Amino acid sequence: MTTSNSTPRADGFFMPAEWATHSQTWMVWPERPDNWRLGGKPAQTAFSAVAKAIARFEPVTVCVNAGQYANARARLDHGNIRVLEISSDDAWVRDTGPTFVSNAQGEVRGVDWAFNAWGGFDGGLYAPWNRDDQVACKILEIERCQRYRTTDFVLEGGSIHVDGEGTLLTTEECLLNRNRNPHLDRSEIESVLREHLAIDCVIWLPNGLFNDETDGHIDNFCCFVRPGEVLLAWTDEPHNPNYPRCQAALQVLENATDARGRRLTIHKMPIPGPLHATAAECAGVDLVPGSQARSPEVRLAGSYVNFLIVNGGIIAPCFDDPMDAVAESILTRLFPEHQVVMVPGREILLGGGNIHCITQQQPAPQGR
Ligand code: KQY
């Protein structure tokens, strides 16, 4: 595998939007008992359902630690799912996998961002994270993709969304957090994003969703549905802790112009819940100093915005909540060319994220 000293932009590569055709989607098998209750068994059922839902539309590769290989291979019994042994610390390939970039000649490469488990020893969620930090490199090696490594720049894929036409959405809460890149200011961070993703415009929302343990990843709060149109998690209830966050985001989005000079059309997606883990669910998680503690008192950061766009499909979480049907109808209206598939997301949410966080799309070669 070649690691380049150049940047994707300098080499003519850019990050395609998620709706561009994929060659496959990557996932990682959950097993970590201090994050997933009951040794990860309920999460493995949930991840299997997500993998099989995606596999209806495109190939899926699931990475698994050696000790879980046989179990994962047996549970992921679908002809469109490949299972590979790759070590990891946990199962969030959106954040540990590469961000794929492509060029007009039909080549795909990957950006391997430095990973510090969402904040290192200043609020990060577990240690060590060295095996997670190697996941992107290993995926690129398997795919024979050239690699760009940002040794001095920490980023998670869940903290960015792009429209494929030069605009990037992110949050100040995450990217300007002192636990990611304290040596860089806002304009220096923008400059790394411009060079590595070939974007020209960054739209900064102040915050992500309340209690999002990633420090406010954008992929749990707001996403593009097509160029010039975004979908924002929303509440009209002033007592909802998300209310000020939604209002602040709306104000930024209403005043934003994208890289092509467009004003944005803003769609709203209701927030489910309030959702909480039960005492029994929390009791099923191993207590390990340095790992994220679980409590029934903590409102979970559940969000229907945390969905994945695949080839012809939308794979979105449901929570056995009255808003599930509303979310499904909004997604069906916004994506008339896609089939919306709702998959149980509660077990993934109990671990701290959802479907977008546990998946990483690999674009098909573009422009050929
Ligand atoms: O949501 C994500 N992108 C990652 C969440 C990590 C949670 C670990 N407990």
Question: Which DSSP letter does residue 257 get?
Answer: B
| Element (DSSP H or E) covering residue 243 | helix 243-254
Domain ranges of the chain: 3-363
What pLDDT, on a 0 to 100 scale, did the predictor assign at position 290?
A: 82
Least Cα distance to 310 among 355, 278, 252, 367 occurs for 355
What pLDDT, on a 0 to 100 scale, did the predictor assign at position 368?
A: 45
Reading the chain (368 residues) residue by residue, the pLDDT tens digits are 788 889 999 999 999 999 999 999 999 999 999 999 999 999 999 999 999 999 999 999 999 999 999 999 999 999 999 999 999 999 999 999 999 999 999 899 999 999 999 999 999 999 999 999 999 999 999 999 999 999 999 999 999 999 999 999 999 999 999 999 999 999 999 999 999 999 999 999 999 999 999 999 999 999 999 999 999 999 999 999 999 999 999 999 999 999 999 999 999 999 999 999 999 999 999 999 888 889 999 999 999 999 999 999 999 999 999 999 999 999 999 999 999 999 999 999 999 999 999 999 999 998 64
Q: Give the closest residue (by CA) to ligand 1 atom 3.
A: 357
What pLDDT, on a 0 to 100 scale, did the predictor assign at position 289?
A: 87
Q: Which two tokens stand for residue 104?
A: 């007009």
Q: Give the closest residue (by CA) to ligand 1 atom 9.
A: 352
Whole-prediction pTM: 0.98
Could you give the 3-state DSSP secondary structure of residue 114? Answer: strand
Sign of CA dihedral 308, 309, 312, 318: positive
- Pick from 26, 89, 116, 118 the residue to mutate for probing ligand 1's pocket: most ligand atoms within 8 Å of its CB: 118
Concerning whether 222 is annotated as a catalytic residue, the answer is no
Architecture of domain 3-363: 5-stranded Propeller (3.75)
- Which atom of ligand 1 has the smallest separation from the CA of 356? 3
- Which atom of ligand 1 has the smallest separation from the CA of 219? 3
Question: Which DSSP letter does residue 21 get?
Answer: P
What pLDDT, on a 0 to 100 scale, did the predictor assign at position 160?
A: 98
**Cα(367) to centroid of ligand 1, in Å?**
33
Question: Which DSSP letter does residue 14 get?
Answer: B
- Which atom of ligand 1 has the smallest separation from the CA of 220? 1
The answer to whether the CB of 32 is under 6 A from ligand 1 is no
Which residues, including other chains, have CB under 8 Å from residue 259's CB and lie 6 or more apart? 163, 165, 166, 167, 199, 200, 201
What pLDDT, on a 0 to 100 scale, did the predictor assign at position 367?
A: 60
